[in-house]
Amino acid sequence: MKLAAILLIALSLDAQSAAELAAKGSQHLEANRPAAALDAFTQSLRLNPAEFEALSGIGFLLYSQEKFKDARGYLEKAVAVRPQSFQANFLLGATLVHLRETKLAIARLREAVTRNPANRDARNLLAAQYIETRQFKEAIVLLQAIAETPPFDEETHLLLIEARQKSGDSTNAFALAKKAATRFPSSAQVLTWLGFQLQFAGRYEEAKQQLEQAIILDPKFPMALQVLGEVFLKEEDYKEAIKWLKRADEKLPGDTDTLLSLARAQAESGDTTQALQTLQRAITKNDPRVHFQLSRLYYRLGDEAKAKEHAELSVRLRQ
């Protein structure tokens, strides 16, 4: 037998063994035996470094262990071997999201949605990246296609409400929030969005009812606490506003919106010293709103030099 034929047979046997080992690794994964799965996948790749099932399997294991940098390499190889794979594209996209590689994540997630348009998880994750990059129209189109398809998905509704609200379409955001509240009456997040929309419309008593119910459902959810504090701030009930905003700050320390509202409530209640301390906690964010509020507060305290300094900084940051 010629040498070339012998080599071809040997390579074929190796490839077959690699595939068998990868399949065995997948079986171990399904049986929740990660160590055995990793061993089988590793042996498979020794025989065939391009074995798709082994590459994606190790990528999945590393992703589930939150070893995202390590997972990325295996998943990129898996996508290179089988670019049409929904699983590999989706998992690589999710990994890149965790690595804050948003542009690359969007590209992989788009490919995943193209390969499996019915997959809600892929659509939701892609929509979340669109919202983060202020591509609200793209997020709305992506989510609207599945929002009215039973079984209804809570995350899809939440993302679509957020995308509509941030795009300036508060009318449709409000309508969807009301619809979502009937579909997910036990969701603290949905009720918080409805409460936000109600206070945005000036319907404060109705907003408080929804937000108080959200807090009962999930006392640890900070946004319900924050929005309720905002409602009391708008009603000029500064004592109640401070109480709820402090609770929100405990659950979500350093949140700029919470600190701005809390400082405003403290200043309006007459506690300018405490308001100044609150704003100092938010100053590292380089948010122009923080410096604008500091400027107003320093004017109130009679420190015109610092007031001017923060006013100018606020303008520069906005530009």
pLDDT for 249: 96
> What is the longest distance spanned by two Cα atoms in the chain?
97
Residue entry with tokens 């006013």: 311
Q: Are 81 and 52 in contact (CB under 8 A)?
A: yes
| Gap between the Cα atoms of 251 and 228, Å rounded | 14
> Using CA atoms, how far apart are residues 77 and 194, in angstroms rounded to an integer?
44
Helix axes 288-301, 304-318, angle to 10 degrees: 160
Q: Which distant-in-sequence residues (6+ apart) come within 8 Å of 198 by Cβ?
A: 204, 206, 207, 210
Which pLDDT score, from 0 to 100, does residue 242 have?
98
Residue 199, amino acid: Q
Q: Would you give the DSSP letter of residue 10? A: H
The DSSP call for residue 100 is T
* Alpha-carbon radius of gyration of the chain: 26
Each domain of the chain, given as residue ranges in start order, spans 15-116, 118-169
State pTM to two decimals. 0.86
CATH topology for the 15-116 domain: 1.25.40
Q: For the segment 110-139, what is each residue's pLDDT rounded down to a tens digit?
A: 999 999 999 999 999 999 999 999 999 999
Q: Which stretches of the chain drop beneath a pLDDT of 50?
A: 1, 3-13
